[in-house]
Amino acid sequence: MATKYAIIDIETTGGLAKRDRITEIAIVISDGKKIIDQYDTLIDPGISIPYNITRITGITNDMVVDAPKFYEVAKKIVEMTEDTIFVAHNVGFDYGFIQNAFASLGYSFSKRRLCTVRMSRKAFPGLKSYSLGNLIKHFDISVNDRHRALEDAVATTKIFHMILEQKPSEIKERKLISEAVALTRLPEGITMEYIKTLPTQTGVYYMSNESNEIVYIGKSVNIQKRIKQHFSKVDNKTDKMLQKVRSIHYELTGSELAALVKEAVEIKELKPEINKALRRSDYPYGVYLVEKKNDYFKFKSAKLTNAIENQFEIISRHSSARTAKSFIKRYTSAFGLCRQINEIEKDTGGACFEYAMQKCLGACIQLEDPSSYNERVLEAAEMTNVFLEPNFVIVDHGRDDTEKAVFLVEEGVFKGYGYISSEDVFLGIEEIKESIQYLKTDKQITSIVRNQLSTNTKLNIIKF
Ligand SMILES: [Zn+2]
């Protein structure tokens, strides 16, 4: 489907979107080459039009007294601009007013935008002014009624067509246009209008296929924006989504940490197929334990395959072979394990270098008993699950002002999370514990919580 543009011009009672109102709107629909539709109407602003504005626009109070109110033409505007890119001369102005007008009806109006002021600057460098009046004069565009919405919108459209005729390489906005085009690719049954009803808050979202099986789980601090991003990309993941996804639902979490934990728990539980394919592509390397000759456990890193994941418990996942190896190095030295067994050093057949330094207890030459060595290996593997501070609660904001999200770490282990009313946070640890939904201990979730603790400064900690 070709890209459609809605070139829009409005007249108002003044310059402030928050204070002033729209008195006229004109919409010209273009395919980039020619005008295919147009619409123009006066609008009763519900407030009086100042005389100095009337002098500019020619729109008087008498003219709008029988005109429709904005809510009466809102549906028409939505229908006309559906699947279009919003174009205007100084687009922030027109877009701002229209967005405000929709917001007052409880509707969130959101479109890709192009500004013909910015585009003209790039396309026609060296002009004294890029005001609509000056461009009309410069290009000798015929206009009957300057400062009436339809005439200005048509003039803007002519300028816009001229811009698009320029060589693509000269116009950066081409990229913006192609992104906007990509956004028009949506899965069957999912419309842009539906996506716009999704919340712009923090939570977890679920994409399901036609048999209602969840095929993808994600989290975002702005669900609507993230879903739009998903469909505006051009890659394998997007193709898969376009192919499989037929419905989207969501759950708000308030707290970002709660969204991260919920996402991880549910991906693990439901194993959505698109996530599965993705996890492997984001973190293709893993560390896991294998048994070396003579019964010693060994940390191994490798590019993960189905066979490996089915057979071994993956201790940690990495984006590169290098970070997987350095993870092994860190744990080898922290727990006095053998560098030779863990293949950081080449197996010489004799003792490792660290043995001479008395940092390895000699597992390499079977001096240390496998059972005592392996105990330390398991302890090291287990450590990826543990917090240094043994008992504390993390408090984050909840799904609204009346509640908080709480996360419990007890005896160094992340236990789970839940929601509690804001006042009850101060009643004590037993009250908090009652609101916790307990989860299985999990390395990935532990590392998510750790990571948030070190990066999210808004979290509050209560020790107990
Ligand atoms: Zn050794």
Ligand 1 centroid to Cα of residue 321, in Å, is 23
**Phi, psi of 173, deg, nearest 5:** -60, -15
The backbone torsions φ and ψ at residue 165, rounded to the nearest 5 degrees and listed phi first, read -80, -15
Model confidence at 26, in pLDDT bands (50, 70, 90)? very high
Give dist(CA 315, CA 28) in Å, integer: 59
CA of 387 to the centre of ligand 1 (A): 28
pLDDT confidence of residue 381: 85
Q: What is the side-by-side strand order in the sheet with 203-208?
A: 214-220, 203-208, 247-252
Query: In this predicted model, what pLDDT tens digit does every residue of 158-168 receive, in sequence order?
Result: 999 998 887 55
**Centroid of ligand 1 to alpha carbon of 324 (angstroms):** 20
Residue 422 · residue 404 · CB < 8 Å: yes
Q: Where are the domains positioned within the chain?
A: 4-179, 185-276, 285-383, 392-463
Backbone angles phi, psi at 236, to 5 degrees: -60, -40
Given a cut of 90, whether residue 342 has pLDDT beyond it is yes
The answer on pLDDT for 418 being more than 50 is yes
- Ranges assigned E (strand) in 46-192: 84-88, 113-115
Lowest mean pLDDT, pick from 91-105, 241-255, 441-455:
441-455
Cα(318) to ligand 1 centroid in Å equals 25
pLDDT of residue 171: 47
pLDDT at position 170 over 50 = no
d(CA 296, CA 302): 19
Q: What pLDDT, on a 0 to 100 scale, did the predictor assign at position 178?
A: 54
- Give one DSSP letter per residue of 111-132, joined into a string: --EEEHHHHHHHHSTT-S--SH
Q: How many Å lie between the centroid of ligand 1 and the Cα of residue 350?
A: 9
Give residue-wise pLDDT tens across range 268-316.
889 999 988 777 776 789 999 998 878 899 999 999 988 898 899 888 8
Q: Where are the beta strands (DSSP E) in 31-134?
A: 35-42, 84-88, 113-115
**183, 231, 248, 265 from 239: Cα distances, Å:** 13, 9, 16, 25
Q: Say how far apart CA 13 and CA 342 lie, in whole Å.
A: 75
Q: What is the pLDDT of residues 204-255, one digit of tens each?
A: 999 999 999 999 999 999 999 899 888 877 677 788 888 899 999 999 999 9
- Count of C-beta atoms within a 10 Å radius of residue 90: 16
Q: Taking residues 404-419, what's their average pLDDT? A: 93
Q: How far is the CA of 316 from the centre of ligand 1 (A)?
A: 23
Establish how many alpha carbons lie within 13 A of residue 340's alpha carbon, considering only the half-sphere containing its beta carbon. 20
H or E stretch covering 241? helix 236-244
Side-chain-side CA neighbours of 395 within 13 Å: the count stands at 17
How far, in Å, from the CA of 450 to the mean position of ligand 1?
A: 31
Cβ atoms of 149 and 56 within 8 Å: the answer is no
Torsion over CA of 52, 56, 61 and 64, rounded to 10 degrees?
-150
Taking the C-alpha atoms of residue 170 and residue 283, their distance in angstroms, rounded to an integer, is 39
Identify residue 381 by its one-letter amino acid code: A
Distance 291 CA to ligand 1 centre (A): 16
Query: Bigger pLDDT: 317 or 219?
Result: 219
Residue 56 pLDDT more than 90? no
Question: So what's the pLDDT on residue 177?
Answer: 57
What's 185-276's CATH class? Answer: alpha beta
Share of the chain above pLDDT 90, in %: 47
- State CA 30 to chain mean position distance: 31
| 57 pLDDT above the threshold of 90 | no
Burial class of 234 by CB neighbour count within 10 A (0 to 12, 13 to 18, 19+):
exposed
The environment of the single-atom ion ligand 1, i.e. residues with CB closer than 5 A, is 338, 340, 352, 355, 360, 364
User: Packing angle between helix 443-455 and helix 256-270, nearest 10 degrees?
Assistant: 160
Rounded Cα distance between 416 and 436, Å, is 6
Would you name the residues annotated as active-site residues? 147
CA atoms of 249 and 87, how far apart (whole Å):
31
The answer to whether 361 touches 367, Cβ cutoff 8 Å, is yes
Mean pLDDT of 54-58: 86
CATH topology of domain 4-179: Nucleotidyltransferase; domain 5 (3.30.420)
Minimum mean pLDDT range among 77-91, 323-337, 448-462: 448-462
Sequence-distant (≥ 6) Cβ neighbours of residue 270 within 8 angstroms: 214, 217
Per-residue pLDDT reduced to its tens digit, 344-401? 988 888 898 888 888 899 999 999 999 999 999 988 887 776 776 789 999 999 999 8
- Higher pLDDT pick, 442 / 179: 442
pLDDT of residue 301: 94
Q: Which of 264, 255, 220 is nearest to 458 (CA)?
A: 255
Q: What pLDDT is attached to residue 138?
A: 93
pLDDT of residue 337: 93
pTM of the model: 0.50
pLDDT at 427 over 80: yes
pLDDT at 143: 85
Beta strand 84-88 with 113-115 is: parallel
